């Protein structure tokens, strides 16, 4: 059985509009694919009844409230929690856009590092990433054409890269996080997975009621992330090859030279995350002995972090935003590796989020683009980073990049 077989949202929406399929047929397709693959993938925590005639099948990460379904957050502490009485604000927004939740997808424990049971459809013996593992796997396997995630460090971009699908991390604050069990208020952002960037553009247009983002060649700064010393050779090659092809297709391409900026932001991010998590998840900190070692360590580290250390990290991030604006200048996006390499073998860890930390600290929108593979055929994703609030513009640039890298002509 082929597990990695994504389902195009753009094609589904077109078929629905032109009468070639129906919401009932979409529901049956989703249910059939879940029945076919779920025993191997373990992408879902709970399933809901799909209402005939309702809309596009959607997966919802299990830190996001869905009316009538418990929000268990991947934790034994929430095993007996009561069903949510209302949808999270972001679920309400997606329902209004025409999506209908099929249920809750697996998350790591409280969206941190302790893995859930989900496997990677592109490489079942390798991690799907975290913390939005279930949503990434559900899209990569074609169980649903759209699924919700969240990102505090690298919880959307990394799973997309590992599973070979596209994702969007929205600008911080673009939509409220009401009804989401978060870790760090100044870092938590909404995310969404789809098969391709063009599918993300379709989803964004429906969510915002704006026209599809216009594809156009961007002015690109290429970030090699050399100073972080984590990028593996196949991923380095993917970034280099992408930059070459984009330049040949007409994009303006230059090197991102301020590596010190990203080192500083990457160091500040975990300080802020730990400090805020210890306060946001104070109830869990009180029973830290019942948590996984990584989460307990995060919360204890945050509790021991002084307010001066926290404010210093916040100041570094504020200064970094000014410095990045100067670095970007007349450029539109930053292109770089979405993860150090392909998904690591094994299911006892979720991979390294270091290449997302700096961008997440700034609350910037990020698109993960699939399409490259390593010599073993495992997915390698690239990331495009845009300006805060420029989610639609970023998607337009990313659509152009996707088409060029796919070899399509304009």
Q: Which two tokens stand for residue 84?
A: 């949510």
User: Catalytic residue among 135, 155, 161, 184, which?
Assistant: 155
Residue 301 confidence (pLDDT) above 50: yes
155 phi, psi to nearest 5 deg: -75, -5
Residue 385: predicted pLDDT = 98
CA distances from 190 to 147, 294, 305, 319 (A): 11, 23, 26, 24
Give 307's contacts (C-beta < 8 A, 6+ positions apart): none
Span 136-157, pLDDT tens digits: 999 999 999 999 999 999 999 9
Asked if 244 is an active-site residue, the reply is no
**Residue 167 bears catalytic tag:** no
pLDDT band at 410 (very low <50, low <70, confident <90, very high): very low
What pLDDT digit, counting tens, does each position of 156-165 carry? 999 999 999 9
pLDDT tens digits, one per residue of 349-387: 999 999 999 999 999 999 999 999 999 999 999 999 999
Catalytic residue of the set 131, 135, 292, 356? 131
Give the pLDDT band of residue 54 (cuts 50, 70, 90): confident
DSSP 165: -
pLDDT, mean over the chain: 96
Mean pLDDT value across residues 304-316: 98
Residues 6+ apart with CB under 8 A from 400: 215, 216, 217, 218, 251, 410
Alpha-carbon 7 to chain mean position: 17
- Convert the pLDDT of each residue in 74-110 to its tens digit: 999 999 999 999 999 999 999 999 999 999 999 999 9
Query: Catalytic site residue 131?
Result: yes
């Amino acid at each position: 059985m082929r597990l990695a077989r994504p389902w195009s949202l753009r094609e589904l929406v077109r078929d629905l509009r032109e009468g070639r399929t129906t919401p009932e047929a979409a529901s049956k397709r989703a249910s059939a694919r879940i029945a076919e693959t779920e025993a191997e993938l373990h992408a879902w925590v709970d399933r809901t009844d799909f209402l005939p005639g309702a809309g596009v099948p959607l997966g919802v990460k299990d830190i996001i409230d869905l009316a009538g379904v418990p929000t268990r957050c991947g934790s034994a502490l929430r095993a007996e929690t009561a069903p949510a009485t209302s949808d999270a604000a972001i679920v309400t927004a997606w329902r209004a856009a025409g999506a209908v939740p099929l249920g809750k997808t697996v998350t790591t424990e409280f969206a941190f590092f302790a893995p859930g049971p989900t496997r990677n459809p592109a490489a079942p013996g390798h991690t799907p990433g975290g913390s939005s593992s279930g949503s990434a796997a559900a899209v990569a396997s074609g169980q649903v054409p759209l699924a919700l995630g969240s990102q505090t460090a690298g919880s959307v971009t990394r799973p997309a890269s590992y599973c070979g699908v596209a994702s969007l991390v929205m600008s911080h604050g673009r939509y409220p996080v009401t009804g989401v069990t978060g870790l760090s208020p100044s870092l938590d952002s909404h995310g969404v997975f789809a098969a391709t960037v063009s599918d993300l553009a379709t989803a964004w247009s429906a969510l915002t009621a704006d026209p599809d983002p216009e594809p156009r060649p961007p002015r690109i700064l290429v970030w090699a992330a050399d100073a972080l010393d984590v990028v593996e050779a196949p991923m380095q090659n993917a970034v280099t090859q992408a930059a070459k092809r984009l330049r040949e297709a007409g994009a303006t391409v230059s090197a991102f030279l301020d590596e010190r900026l990203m080192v500083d932001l990457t160091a500040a991010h975990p300080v802020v995350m730990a400090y805020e998590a210890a306060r946001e998840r104070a109830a869990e900190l009180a029973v830290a002995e019942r948590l996984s070692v990584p989460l307990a360590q995060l919360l204890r580290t945050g509790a021991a972090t002084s307010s001066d250390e926290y404010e210093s990290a916040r100041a570094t991030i504020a200064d970094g935003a000014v410095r990045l604006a100067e670095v970007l200048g007349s450029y539109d996006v930053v292109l770089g590796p979405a993860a150090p390499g392909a998904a690591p073998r094994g299911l006892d860890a979720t991979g390294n989020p270091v290449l997302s930390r700096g961008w997440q600290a700034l609350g910037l929108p990020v698109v993960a683009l699939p399409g490259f593979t390593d010599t073993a055929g495992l997915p390698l994703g690239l990331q495009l980073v845009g300006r805060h609030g420029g989610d639609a513009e970023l998607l337009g640039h990313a659509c152009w990049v996707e088409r060029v890298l796919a070899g399509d002509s304009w």
